[in-house]
Amino acid sequence: MESYELTESSSVEFLFVVLPAACITISGDSLLKKEITSFEFSKFNSDLVGAFNFRDEYFLKASKIPFPRLPDTPKSATFITNLCSVAIEKKFNDKVSLEEFTMPTALITGITGMVGSHLLDFLIENTDWKIYGITRWRSPASNIEHHFNTDYFNSRITYLEADLLDYQSLLNAVTTAKPDYVFHLAAQSFPTTSFNIPIQTLDINILGTARLLEAIKFSGLDPWIHVCSSSEIFGRVKSIDLPIKENTRFQPASPYSISKIGTDLLSVYYSQAYNMKTISTRMFTHTGPRRGEVFAESAFAKQIALIEMGTIKPIINVGNLDSLRTWSDVRDAVRAYYVLLTNKPISGEVYNIGGTFTCTVGEMLDYLLSISTFKEKIQIKQNAKLIRPLDADLQVPDISKFQNHTGWKPEISFERTMGDLLNYWRQCIQKQEYRPFWT
């Protein structure tokens, strides 16, 4: 990344900066707003003298090399602000790094969760973005600890303590990160638990999303915002309505699904009411390494790994095995979320996203058993604690709208996903002792 030098000149020099819809604050005093395609800084004419407080004899020029086209982000405007401020203060020959101000910034809520941690992995590997992650004091760091003590950690990753239940903490996080992209993943995400804590589920998922969007609105920033809804909003779909399209009627089957309907509607509302760049996704079943043990496939994989290690008896506790699911890998999911905000995003849109492999929960369990190293008989035992009062048991998406717009498609097979999930639990169990949550 180049640096640019400001010099005092006796002749007219030009600095051209392509920056659509620029809004620049100079020295914190004045505001210049113009819908323009370029700036021309030369011997500053009268209308710019007042705005920039420049003295006629000073000019800006790029040092020896052509000035680049800047990306269309708030950081570009900040960079120009910094250039002008340096000139105002007559700090000639100071060097200003373009990288500091033009590197895109992402803010991830729920960064320590399964999806958030895989999104962090993806962005570190595939972009040069600076990443801010919202965490709570009690958030476990196990999903992201492989980034600690890396050469890029301090320069590219920053954790901010905040909570969806606390507006001020969210506002502080937003104004600190100044994000170009927001990935809102944090939630009370377990449908079964929502039957026991319905009010908290609604507060975190609906009002928590509203608090975050209000914080962004109040900040004056204009990032692209991914609001993560859920396929659970469709609830108890009839077989004649499969595959599920974006306009399929909502039939919520849990407090969680109700909360995600609210989340979904908030995304559309803030786009329409305030011109905020929000996009909502209804992601269907996605899983893989780091999946929470309360979810069926992860609970099965963990129990199989415990059986293989001789830690528990060869009995697997199950809930509803007849529920039909279309499966996708979490690593495909986060790639979809990246494409969502970077490939011609459309504000106010909603998309169904998911995999292409469909089977029942029971068939998924059969596959996990088939790849287990434990070859003796394993008993399948239905546990009443694992049965939902009401189940969204037909979850098969039509993802053509998202595919046609972005070109995204799932790449990781069902077999690899399940194998990686089982291996994840084998590795976890080797590290420490586990007590099954269902006992």
Task: Show the tokens assigned to 69.
Answer: 């086209």
Which pLDDT value is given to residue 285?
98
Strand 277-283 to strand 30-33: parallel, antiparallel, or no bridges (unpaired)? Answer: unpaired
Helix (H) or strand (E) holding 370: helix 361-370
- Predicted local distance difference test score (pLDDT) of residue 44: 31
- Residue 6 · residue 93 · CB < 8 Å: yes
In this prediction, residue 431 carries a pLDDT of: 83
Rounded-to-integer distance, Cα 141 and Cα 112, Å: 6
Return the structure tokens found at 121: 């992995």
Burial (CB count within 10 angstroms: exposed 0-12, middle 13-18, buried 19+), residue 439:
exposed
Record the tokens describing residue 433, joined without a space: 């002792």
For residue 134, give both structure tokens.
Answer: 């919202």
The confidence score (pLDDT) of residue 84 equals 53
- pLDDT for the residue numbered 302: 97
Closest CA to 158 of 99, 111, 214: 111
DSSP E strands in 273-347: the ranges are 277-283, 286-287, 315-318, 324-329
Strand residue runs (E) in 299-356: 315-318, 324-329, 350-353
pLDDT of residue 327: 98
DSSP string for residues in 404-429: HHH-----S-HHHHHHHHHHHHHHHH
**Integer-rounded Cα radius of gyration of the chain:** 26
Sign of CA pseudo-dihedral 426, 431, 433, 435: negative
Which of 67, 51, 74, 86 is closest to 18 using CA atoms?
A: 67
Please give the Cα distance from 119 to 108 (Å, whole number). 9
**C-alpha to C-alpha distance for 131 and 123, rounded to whole angstroms:** 8
Instruction: Record the pTM.
Output: 0.80
Q: Which residues of 288-307 are buried (b: 16+ CB within 10 A; e: fewer)?
A: bbbbebebbbbbbbbbbbbb
Q: Which residues pair with 33 in a beta bridge?
A: 23
CATH for 105-431 (3.40.50.720, 3.90.180.10, 3.90.1150.10, 3.30.1130.10): 3.40.50.720
CA-to-CA dists, residue 95 to 16, 34, 144, angstroms: 18, 27, 35
pLDDT value, residue 75: 58
CA atoms in the 13 A half-sphere facing the CB of 410 = 24
Residues recorded for the chain: 439
pLDDT at 82 (0 to 100): 56
Q: In tens digits, what is the pLDDT along the chain, a chain of 439 residues?
A: 334 343 444 232 333 333 332 333 333 333 333 322 233 333 333 333 223 333 322 333 333 233 344 444 555 555 555 555 544 444 444 444 445 555 799 999 999 999 999 999 999 999 999 999 999 988 889 999 999 999 999 999 999 999 999 999 999 999 999 999 999 999 999 999 999 999 999 999 999 999 999 999 999 999 999 999 999 999 999 999 999 999 999 999 999 999 999 999 999 999 999 999 999 999 999 999 999 999 999 999 999 999 999 999 999 999 999 999 999 999 999 999 999 999 999 999 999 999 999 999 999 999 999 999 998 999 999 999 899 888 888 999 999 999 999 999 999 999 999 999 999 999 999 987 555 554 4
Cα–Cα distance measured from residue 92 to residue 243, given in angstroms and rounded to the nearest whole number: 64
Where along the chain do the CATH 3.40.50.720 domains lie? Answer: 105-431
Q: Helix (H, G, I), strand (E, B), or coil: what is residue 266?
A: helix
Q: Give phi and psi for 281, each to the nearest 5.
A: -120, 140
pLDDT value for 103: 78
